[in-house]
A and B are shown apart, each in its own frame.
Chain A
Amino acid sequence: MHSHILSIILFIPLAGALLLLFVPKDNKDAIRWIANIFALAGFLVSLPLVPWFWQQRFEPGFKFMEGGPNSWIPSIGAGYVLGIDGISFLLIMLTTLLGWVSILSSWTAIENRLKEYYVWFLVLQTGMLGVFMALDFFLFFVFWEAMLVPMYLLIGIWGGPRKLYAAIKFFLYTLFGSVLMLLAVLFLYFYNYHQTGEYTFSIQALYKTAPNIFHDPAYGVTYAILLFLAFFLAFAIKVPMFPFHTWLPDAHVEAPTAGSVILAGVLLKMGTYGFVRFSLPFFPDVAMHPKVRGWMITLSIIGIVYGALVSLMQKDMKKLVAYSSVSHLGFCTLGIFALNPAGLSGSVLQQINHGISTGALFLIVGILYERRHTREIAEYGGISNVMPVYATITMIMFLSSMGLPLLNGFVGEFTILQGTFIENWRWAAWAVTGVILAAAYLLWLYQRVFFGTITNPKNEKLHDLTPREILTFVPLIIMAFWIGLYPKPFFQILEQPVNQIVQTVRPGYPGTAGIVNASTSKGAPSTQVTVRLATEKPEGKQ
């Protein structure tokens, strides 16, 4: 089991999709049940990963490796290589969880072309998991592009009134970015051949050669920066960072609820994951280049403030949440380019948090939409009177999203801001304004939708949440409280990969080499961030 667990997790959704192909499309209940069973199974088989991974969380390198380099298409050096570290582990768990939740939430929301819907959804699930598992760039690119198609179809077929515009915008935007990334990868591929005499797409091999471009007299800084920018464009569009974000509100507004959950919860994380997995280790010197880093930070901060301000003014609930994603993801990229352990681990944790909170926010909007078929804020008001359970759950998730302590958002934001502050206090000060604005746009939304008396007679008969709907929120609420109350395991899982990245980008950064003992930090006042010895494992193996 150990050796093939990743493949099993990866292909269970696809197996479900294949099975669904043989079910008659009129048998709607069977389709629903099969899709839900496979989605749940996909989540359940990923659970054993948790204890297994926990045991080796401090060990260096990728875990659960499968396949070998060049094993797939030897002639071009493409291999079926899977493997995870703490970062991809958390993102995979988020994906399997959200995949199950969003398929469960589609039970009554989708009525037409049911079979295709679930088939594409499960295919999408495999595509996303593949992105987080692949350690071969060719394989990565296949998954990266493969998951574009189902998402395009989910928006284009089951979307709202402007679905075609939104779907094409989404598709072209992302495709445009990934084409440039492909070019950059080909450059790295040939550069690697140049250096080692071997053609390979193995990411671990490229890790060794790609950073040399910066210092290679034949290419040098300019080439390295151009390559970095090619990757940047692909990932920045996906995140999305300002000013590449305008596809997001359209895609979200038109996508069906479950599509929005996955889009915000997982798809956007591919951009931030790409930064962490590729941009930083491939081009460490570019990432530390003051100008490049300055731009990354500036765009992140603009994203935080701009996203929040535009969010404030939205009349459509879903658009409001979409713009709030721009703001939240700004925190994630800010943490990444703070380039220290606190910033990076906060960023990854915040990516998980965003998946949980914003995923829940889209579910929340979807619940009203399913009942009333409108997302206009002005159509609502006084909903607390008729849907108290729903109002309570919404309040909890809003608080989680705005970073109230004891809930998940606070831990992520605090850690990111703390890491950023160590680098430059001005960056942190700007970013904190986003925290203020988050309270403003969310509480104002809450007031307009839930408070007051019911003014619109159509809202008088709304029924509160069904048990199935409550079930979709339960895991998200549990996770929100868990991360808020006891984030330590998450930080431990992230410690090794994050330190390794920081060590790559900033060799000699205090505490990342794994030799500094935390207990010494009780000495004199120190700005150093010291980290527990990786082999010390104070918690002990279980």
Chain B
Amino acid sequence: MTPDLHLWLIPVLPLIGAAINGFVGRRLTRQAIVTVAIAFCGASFAMALYVALRFSGLAIPHLETLAPWIRAGSFQADFAFYVDQLSLVMLLVVTGVGLLIHIYSIGYMWEEGGFYRFFCYLNLFMFFMLTLVLASNYLLMFIGWEGVGLASYLLIGFWFTKDSAASAGKKAFIVNRIGDFGFLIALFLMIKHFGTLNFDRVFQFAASMSVENATAGLLTAIGLLLMVGAAGKSAQIPLYVWLPDAMEGPTPVSALIHAATMVTAGVYMIARSHVIFERAPTALMVVAIIGTLTALFAATIGIAQTDIKKVLAYSTISQLGYMFLACGVAAFSAGIFHLMTHAFFKGLLFLAAGSVIHAVGGEQDMRKMGGLWRKIPWTWATMLIATCAIAGIPGLSGFFSKDEILWRAYQASWAYWLVGVVTAFLTSFYMFRLMYMTFAGEYRGVTSDHSIVQEQAPARSRPSAAQAHHGIHESPRVMLIPLAILAFLSIVGGWIGVPGSLGGSNRFDRFLGPVFRATAPAVKPQHAAPGETAPPEQTTEGLESHTGRGTELAFTGISVFAALLGLYLARLLYLRRPALPERIAAALNGLYAAVANKYYVDELYATLFVHPVVEGSKHILWHGMDQGVIDATLDNSADATRHVSDSLRHMQSGNLRSYAGWVAAGAAVVIAYMVWTGTR
């Protein structure tokens, strides 16, 4: 008998924190607000650890039903929670990184107005994210899914007095809703054909179905629609446009929501639905292609960004592309592995970037930074670790997870691998470019205090005004400790998944094995469109021994080389010969402008979609149809009625002789009619 873990407490605890701060936070002191927020988030983390400790004693998947929710006809969805290896990993990442970022936020947001509001939203986010992770059915997952979107909307627009922040929040929500279109239709399909949305039942049905090859069927449709939803949430082509704008939110929010947790929900959802995807090779291939393209596309944009957070935003999109690629080649555990290490090093990168921004008084433009490493050594050191991790420097967490993805991608198709390696090179380049521009060389900002106040930011939204007087300074300890912990995790986080070729045993893959392997289709996909021959996971170890460690090590060598090449190039361009980048940019004028302007995708969407909808609604529907056709017809017929009545009114003149005349005329008409009908 498996014990009752009270799983519902894990999401509900932060909700209580959100409620307390939301209702009475306005009257509380900052210390009290922080205590509430951290206590409930911490309690949630403690619960997650408790679940992890009890995990080996559980029957997996472990299911706990709290209460019924919707019951209409035979369809039923409950408030029920579900733990298996996959959700446990997510649970620990979300609560752990979440708690660290909560702590960091104390320092970062201390000077801000709306302090209670910030922590209320942050706790609310934790509630929805944990609901998403622990849900035992797609509908409950969808609650979390929409809810994290709401929290993201509220937090992006936290500085709501700033118009760009308010617009960015709205954009994020609407673009996500477009993705939800796919998610919802997928849910309806499942209800219609499976009669349930519970994971265990859906997967049971799916597992009993055969692999859909060239004849795409139900599972392919569901997979593709889920993919649309995931692309919205995880910022993949073509729905990635909201994420860069989302950087308008406070930096801890970017770290928590737009790097470590929420944006990975799409990857989690696809991994969770692996039973469906494994039987829908077409859908898997689309996932892989979208992921690959996004990884490369976003990385190229990242090269030319000058805003430190924008670089990291495009980097996040690109890394999410890797995770999609992993899922797309049915290497789900590799995708989740990268999701986890990415949560560590990208969370760290954002927090460190926040620390930089904090130090230089709100400046985000890297062209106005430089030489900061002496002034903020802790931030520099931790950020360097994270950069090495994301770039894939051997020994650090990102190296192992990325290497695993690239190797599995190669097994599916060399094309995925090639794009992946090019992206790895670009990643290393733009990340070290960021490091050199920010920390190396001479300080290019204006040191005097008056100019540091950001023009586009509201004064109160930046922690700087007072600190600018004291010049650039290291962040307080409450911010540095989370940085240090994340730096530690960025180093060692990968060690649990060291692949066999490097002498490890990939414990992570084996841990997730029961989730992903038990249900893999018995029959391999028969034939394949290019790059679709994803081998089922059972064969992984066999492959390793057969194709030989040598090949895999050679590929590892290539990706390490790509990372070092990126490092070298960044060093050359941004440390040794800082004038060169501008000359290159000038030489590649058109191309550079396109990249710097993000390939004009926002403008394209505005022209193609937003503008037609807005103008069409206004001119064709509202003024044209509503006022022009419908109301005009009505008003005209009303007018016509009035005119007819008006003329008829004159019959009633009160004049006896005219009445006699009308009577005679009427009689004549009647007689004429009778005569006419009579003669026929």
Co-assembled chains A and B: yes
Question: Which residues on A are within 8 Å of B, measured CB to CB?
Answer: 169, 172, 243, 246, 306, 309-310, 312-314, 341-342, 345-346, 382, 384-385, 388, 399, 404-406, 410-411, 414-415, 417-418, 421-422, 425, 428-429, 432-433, 435-436, 439-440, 443-444, 447, 450-453, 485-488, 491, 511, 518, 521, 525-531
A306 touches B621 (CB 8 A): yes
What's the nearest-Cβ distance from chain B to residue A467, in Å? 16
A405 touches B192 (CB 8 A): no
* 6 contacting pairs across A/B (C-beta < 8 A): A313-B617, A414-B184, A418-B187, A418-B188, A487-B70, A491-B71
Which of B68, B166, B187 is within 8 Å of A447, CB to CB? B166
How many residue pairs at the A-B interface have CB separations less than 8 Å? Answer: 151
B72 touches A313 (CB 8 A): no
Q: Does B177 contact A (CB under 8 A)?
A: yes
In the bound assembly, the distance between CA atoms of A100 and B69 in angstroms comes to 29
In the bound assembly, the distance between CA atoms of A374 and B618 in angstroms comes to 22
> Which residues in B have their C-beta under 8 angstroms from that of A404?
146-147, 150
Encode B52-89 as 1/0 by CB contact (under 8 A) with A: 00000000000000011111111100000000000000
Encode B625-640 as 1/0 by CB contact (under 8 A) with A: 1100011001000100
What's the nearest-Cβ distance from chain B to residue A405, in Å? 4
Which of B150, B170, B178 is within 8 Å of A436, CB to CB? B178
> Which residues in A have their C-beta under 8 angstroms from that of B167?
447
Interface majority SS (helix, strand, loop, mixed), chain A: helix
Q: Does B185 contact A (CB under 8 A)?
A: yes
B618 touches A313 (CB 8 A): yes
B173 touches A443 (CB 8 A): yes
> Which residues in B have their C-beta under 8 angstroms from that of A528?
74, 195
**19 new A-B contacts at CB < 8 Å, known A406-B143, A530-B74:** A310-B622, A310-B626, A405-B147, A410-B146, A415-B72, A418-B72, A418-B191, A421-B192, A428-B185, A429-B185, A432-B181, A433-B181, A440-B177, A447-B157, A452-B160, A491-B71, A521-B74, A527-B195, A528-B74
What's the nearest-Cβ distance from chain A to residue B360, in Å? 25
A527 touches B193 (CB 8 A): yes
Smallest CB-CB separation from B170: which chain A residue?
Answer: A443
What's the nearest-Cβ distance from chain A to residue B159, in Å? 10
> Which residues in B have their C-beta under 8 angstroms from that of A341?
72-73
Given A246-B634, A439-B174: A406 and B147 interface contact (C-beta under 8 Å): yes
Given A443-B173, A451-B160: A435 and B147 interface contact (C-beta under 8 Å): no
Smallest CB-CB separation from B618: which chain A residue?
Answer: A313
Which of B170, B185, B621 is within 8 Å of A425, CB to CB? B185
Question: Which residues on B are within 8 Å of A, measured CB to CB?
Answer: 26, 67-75, 139, 142-143, 146-147, 150, 153, 157, 160-163, 166-167, 169-170, 173-174, 177-178, 180-181, 184-185, 187-189, 191-195, 205, 458, 613-614, 616-618, 621-622, 625-626, 630-631, 634, 638
Which of A417, A433, A453, A487 is within 8 Å of B188, CB to CB? A417
Given A405-B143, A421-B188, A436-B178: A312 and B617 interface contact (C-beta under 8 Å): yes
In the bound assembly, the distance between CA atoms of A382 and B159 in angstroms comes to 11
Smallest CB-CB separation from B184: which chain A residue?
Answer: A432
Smallest CB-CB separation from A389: which chain B residue?
Answer: B26
What's the nearest-Cβ distance from chain A to residue B142, in Å? 6
In the bound assembly, the distance between CA atoms of A306 and B617 in angstroms comes to 8
What's the nearest-Cβ distance from chain A to residue B68, in Å? 6
Smallest CB-CB separation from A454: which chain B residue?
Answer: B161
Which of A246, A429, A436, A451 is within 8 Å of B630, CB to CB? A246
B70 touches A488 (CB 8 A): yes
> Which residues in A have their C-beta under 8 angstroms from that of B162?
452
> Which residues in B have their C-beta under 8 angstroms from that of A526?
74, 195
What's the nearest-Cβ distance from chain B to residue A404, in Å? 6
What's the nearest-Cβ distance from chain A to residue B472, in Å? 30
In the bound assembly, the distance between CA atoms of A310 and B614 in angstroms comes to 9
Which of B173, B185, B195, B621 is within 8 Å of A525, CB to CB? B195
> Which residues in A have their C-beta under 8 angstroms from that of B173?
439, 443
> Which residues in B have their C-beta under 8 angstroms from that of A432?
181, 184-185
5 closest Cβ pairs, A-B complex: A421-B188, A451-B166, A529-B73, A309-B617, A521-B74
> Which residues in A have their C-beta under 8 angstroms from that of B163?
451-452
> Which residues in A have their C-beta under 8 angstroms from that of B150?
399, 404
> Which residues in A have their C-beta under 8 angstroms from that of B621?
306, 309-310, 313
Which of B73, B157, B617 is within 8 Å of A451, CB to CB? B157
Smallest CB-CB separation from A433: which chain B residue?
Answer: B181
> Which residues in A have their C-beta under 8 angstroms from that of B160?
384, 450-452
What's the nearest-Cβ distance from chain A to residue B644, in Å? 16
B170 touches A447 (CB 8 A): yes
In the bound assembly, the distance between CA atoms of A382 and B74 in angstroms comes to 47
> Which residues in A have their C-beta under 8 angstroms from that of B617?
309-310, 312-313
Given A309-B616, A428-B185: A444 and B72 interface contact (C-beta under 8 Å): no
In the bound assembly, the distance between CA atoms of A333 and B621 in angstroms comes to 21
In the bound assembly, the distance between CA atoms of A130 and B53 in angstroms comes to 62
B142 touches A405 (CB 8 A): yes
Given A405-B143, A425-B185: A521 and B72 interface contact (C-beta under 8 Å): no
What's the nearest-Cβ distance from chain B to residue A228, in Å? 23
> Which residues in A have their C-beta under 8 angstroms from that of B70?
411, 414-415, 487-488, 491
B613 touches A309 (CB 8 A): yes
> Which residues in A have their C-beta under 8 angstroms from that of B194?
525
In the bound assembly, the distance between CA atoms of A96 and B75 in angstroms comes to 32
What's the nearest-Cβ distance from chain A to residue B63, in Å? 15
Residue among A306, A385, A436 with max Cβ neighbours from chain B (10 Å):
A436
> Which residues in A have their C-beta under 8 angstroms from that of B177?
435-436, 439-440
> Which residues in A have their C-beta under 8 angstroms from that of B185?
421, 425, 428-429, 432
Smallest CB-CB separation from B140: which chain A residue?
Answer: A405
> Which residues in A have their C-beta under 8 angstroms from that of B161?
382, 385, 451-453
A313 touches B630 (CB 8 A): no
What's the nearest-Cβ distance from chain B to residue A326, in Å? 10
What's the nearest-Cβ distance from chain B to residue A436, in Å? 5
Which of A433, A527, A531 is within 8 Å of B192, CB to CB? A527
In the bound assembly, the distance between CA atoms of A531 and B189 in angstroms comes to 20
Given A399-B150, A428-B188: A525 and B613 interface contact (C-beta under 8 Å): no
> Which residues in A have their C-beta under 8 angstroms from that of B181?
432-433, 435-436
Given A309-B621, A384-B160, A406-B147: A440 and B188 interface contact (C-beta under 8 Å): no
> Which residues in A have their C-beta under 8 angstroms from that of B146?
404-405, 410
In the bound assembly, the distance between CA atoms of A527 and B191 in angstroms comes to 8
> Which residues in A have their C-beta under 8 angstroms from that of B205?
525
Smallest CB-CB separation from B634: which chain A residue?
Answer: A246
Given A425-B185, A432-B184, A436-B177: A312 and B614 interface contact (C-beta under 8 Å): yes
In the bound assembly, the distance between CA atoms of A173 and B159 in angstroms comes to 47
In the bound assembly, the distance between CA atoms of A486 and B289 in angstroms comes to 41
Smallest CB-CB separation from B162: which chain A residue?
Answer: A452
Which of A313, A411, A452 is within 8 Å of B622, CB to CB? A313
> Which residues in A have their C-beta under 8 angstroms from that of B69?
485-488
In the bound assembly, the distance between CA atoms of A309 and B188 in angstroms comes to 25
A529 touches B157 (CB 8 A): no
B72 touches A342 (CB 8 A): yes
> Which residues in B have their C-beta under 8 angstroms from that of A518?
74
In the bound assembly, the distance between CA atoms of A444 and B70 in angstroms comes to 30
What's the nearest-Cβ distance from chain B to residue A412, in Å? 11
> Which residues in B have their C-beta under 8 angstroms from that of A440?
174, 177
Residue among B181, B616, B626 with max Cβ neighbours from chain A (10 Å):
B626
What's the nearest-Cβ distance from chain A to residue B626, in Å? 6
What's the nearest-Cβ distance from chain B to residue A233, in Å? 14
B73 touches A342 (CB 8 A): yes
A488 touches B188 (CB 8 A): no
In the bound assembly, the distance between CA atoms of A14 and B621 in angstroms comes to 42
In the bound assembly, the distance between CA atoms of A172 and B641 in angstroms comes to 13
In the bound assembly, the distance between CA atoms of A511 and B73 in angstroms comes to 8
What's the nearest-Cβ distance from chain A to residue B207, in Å? 12
In the bound assembly, the distance between CA atoms of A388 and B117 in angstroms comes to 11
> Which residues in B have their C-beta under 8 angstroms from that of A422?
191-192
Smallest CB-CB separation from A243: which chain B residue?
Answer: B630
> Which residues in A have their C-beta under 8 angstroms from that of B625?
243, 306
